[in-house]
Amino acid sequence: MIDEVFIETILQKGKEAKEKVQSEFSTISLQQLNWKPSPESWSIAQCLEHLIISHSTYFSALKKITEGIYQMSFWERHSPFSGICGRLLKDQLREQPKKKLIAPKIIRRSASEINEKIIGRYHESLDRFLQYISDCRNIDINTTIITSPAIRMVTYSLRDAFQFLIQHEHRHINQATRVKRNDNFPKDSTCLPF
């Protein structure tokens, strides 16, 4: 079954994201987690917090879908733009960005310093998100249409959402990894954040 293979692929990509975060960031200091290459850049912790916030905006709809109580709205059932929106988001949220995007206000990261529990919180959030995806094995992910939590007029299939959200996951993990690889990244855990 095609959807089973698709879901397994998404879950594997999610597992890879979790492993990368664990291997790259689990042993660095709080100061390193919060260090930013420039005032307008994101820190590693802010990238992870952004992903936690992004996951959480989908939990309500995914809970209803997996419990079998989700009912598509009139717009979700009849919008002629769902396919276009899904394709556009898959293109814009590639793992390797074509250009920098501004995150919608609803999923922006914190401006303040984030505590050392961010790695554990990220893992818990990703595990919950991946469990919802796993629980969609018996759902028609092609015809189940959901609404963007950021822009209420934007709709897309669950299949497209899973694809661009896992791309989005890796996009920001790659961003956090670039912060760690920055020449000015503090090597000594006693350094203060930027």
Query: pLDDT tens digits, residue range 90-141?
Result: 888 877 666 565 655 555 555 567 888 999 999 999 999 999 999 999 999 9
Provide, rounded to the nearest whole percent, the portion of the chain with pLDDT above 90.
75
Rounded distance between C-alpha atoms, residue 38 and residue 182, angstroms: 11
Rounded distance between C-alpha atoms, residue 51 and residue 45, angstroms: 10
For position 107, what pLDDT does the model report?
57
Helix, strand, coil share of the chain (percent; to 5)? 60, 5, 40
Which pLDDT band, with edges at 50, 70 and 90, does 3 fall under?
Answer: confident
Query: pLDDT tens digits, residue range 153-174?
Result: 999 999 999 999 999 999 999 9
Q: What number of H helices and E strands is found in the chain?
A: 7, 2
Which residue's entry shows tokens 């079954």?
Answer: 1
Quickly list DSSP for 106-156.
GGPPPSS---TTHHHHHHHHHHHHHHHHHTTTTS-TTT-EEE-SS-TT-EE
Q: Structure pTM?
A: 0.86
Tokens of 36: 């930013």
Better-scored residue on pLDDT, 182 or 114 = 182
